[in-house]
Amino acid sequence: MITTLAFLAAFTVSSADETAILRQVLDKYFVETARRGPDARKSLFIAETMADGEIDRITLVVPPSSPEQVDELVESLRENNREPIALPELKEDAILGDASELRVGGEYDWEKIALSTGGVESVVEVSRPAFTRNGKVAVVRLVVRQPKESYQIYYLLERAGETWRLRSSVRGRTKP
């Protein structure tokens, strides 16, 4: 047990790591949506907690992820997202919001969103990055919610020296 704790303590996540990862993910999302929608400039971005949704383990299994890496990332997603991350410093042109004001009975009130945000077409829930125990792989989940469709995108990143590189993104299902 002591060995495991020492191993886990060897990797610490800095807020600079989290910010750099989230900026890359949101930049990529803005580029992707400019081509095929929904337009990220018409999206309301909120910080996600794991109470807001389930983790799609099937989508998260992106080669060359091992079953152990998937378990570590799922555990880290749940642990790191008990509290939402602060989003304001991440992207200048992102419209930021508070989900508690926009939900009724756990569901988004699309009429209220339309009236209070002036043209927002989707809500994008952004997770805090999750990491493997060795700190070499990170994942961020975006849940894109629209009145008629919802889906998740998992962005996998790898540490390359002191920087993070986006390795892949995979779109998966989510419950409505």
- Evaluate the CA torsion angle 82, 86, 97, 146 in order and state its sign: negative
Q: What is the mean pLDDT of the chain?
A: 76
Q: Which domain holds residue 81?
A: 13-172
Residue 4 covered by a domain: no
Note whether 48 and 54 are within 8 A (CB): no
Residue 52 covered by a domain: yes
User: Residue 81 above 80 pLDDT?
Assistant: no
Report how far residue 18's alpha carbon sits from residue 73's, in angstroms, rounded to the nearest whole number: 15
Note whether 172 and 58 are within 8 A (CB): yes
105: three-class secondary structure by DSSP: coil
Residue 90 covered by a domain: yes
Q: Where are the alpha helices (DSSP H) in the chain?
A: 2-9, 15-36, 57-60, 67-80, 110-117
Note whether 104 and 141 are within 8 A (CB): no
> Which pLDDT tens digit goes with each residue over 124-146?
888 888 888 888 888 888 989 88
Number of domains, the chain = 1
pLDDT at residue 30 in the model: 86
Q: Which domain CATH number covers 115?
A: 3.10.450.630
Residue 115 covered by a domain: yes
In the DSSP assignment, the letter for residue 90 is T
Burial class of 45 by CB neighbour count within 10 A (0 to 12, 13 to 18, 19+): buried
> Which pLDDT tens digit goes with each residue over 38-77?
778 888 888 776 654 466 555 555 554 677 777 787 777 7
* Rounded percentage of the chain residues whose pLDDT exceeds 70: 74
Residue 7 covered by a domain: no
Residue 1 covered by a domain: no
Q: Where are the alpha helices (DSSP H) in 45-159?
A: 57-60, 67-80, 110-117
Q: Kindly report the pTM of this predicted structure.
A: 0.78
